[in-house]
Amino acid sequence: MVTEIRNFYSLKELDESIEEEISSYKTVVEEYSQRLGSFLRRLETTHGEQEWVKKLSALQKSFEKEGRKVKGKKLGLSSNWVAFKDIMLCIDERGEAEMLFEAIEEMNKKITRLAKIREAIEDLKRLGLGDDVLYIAYVRDEVPEKIVLRKKGEGESAEKFEFIAKFFASRNL
C-alpha cells in the first residue's frame, strides 16, 4: 500500500492522473483474467471431472460476462492454506485460482472507487473553481481520498528554496 501527498495544479491534471490509474488497473485485470482462463482450461484437461474445477470454470465465465465480484475464499473452494509467520502458503492448485479471483476483485473495487472519484472531479469542474487553485491530495493505495484546496501562492514560500553555491577553482599540480 502506497500512501502519499500529491500536489495537482489543476483539476484536469488530477483527472488525468485518475484516468491513468483506471487504465492501468483495467490492463492488469484483463491480464489476470486471461491468466485465470488459461489456468482453468489447463485444470479442465487434467482435473476436468472434479467438481471444484467445474465450479471454478462456471464462476470464471459468469465473472467475465456479468463483471461479478466473487472472492475466492467465498466460493466454497478454499484450498489448504497454512499460516507461516505473517504469510499464507498453499500447495494446492486451487490456491492460485483463489489468488487470481481475489486480485481481480480488489482491482475491480479500485476501478469502481476511482470512477466515482472522477465523477466528483467532474462536478468540481462544473463549479468553476478557477485556475488559481492548488489541489493537495491525500492518496492511499493509488486512490485519492482527501483533497485540500488552496489558493496558488499561499504557503508557497515554504515550498520554494534558493540554492546558492560558490565554486572555487583550485589547481593542484
User: What would the pLDDT profile of 31-44 be if each residue is shown by its tens digit?
Assistant: 999 998 888 888 77
Sequence-distant contacts of 146-151: CB under 8 A, at least 24 apart: 147/14
Name the most confidently modeled range: 4-8, 84-88, 129-133: 4-8
Residue 70: its pLDDT value, please? 44
Q: Average pLDDT over the chain, rounded to whole?
A: 79
The whole-angstrom separation of Cα 65 and Cα 13 is 33
* pLDDT for position 44: 72
Domain locations in the chain?
3-154
Say if residue 73's pLDDT is above 50. Answer: no
Q: Is 60 exceeded by the pLDDT of residue 98?
A: yes
8 Å CB contact between 127 and 11:
no
Q: What is the pLDDT of residue 57?
A: 57
Handedness of CA 70, 75, 77, 82 (dihedral sign): positive
Element (H, E) at 7: strand 3-8
> If you ran DSSP here, which 8-state letter would residue 81 be given?
E
| 1, 141 contact by CB (below 8 A) | yes
Could you give the CA distance from residue 82 to residue 26 in angstroms, rounded to a whole number? 31
Q: Which of 8-22, 44-58, 92-106 has the highest mean predicted lDDT (pLDDT)?
A: 8-22
Indicate if the pLDDT at residue 171 is higher than 50: yes
The helix (run of H) or strand (run of E) holding residue 60 is: helix 51-66
Least confident of 69-78, 98-107, 116-125: 69-78
What is the spatial distance between Cα 123 and Cα 60, in angstroms, rounded to a whole number? 36
What are the cell numbers at 93? 492448485
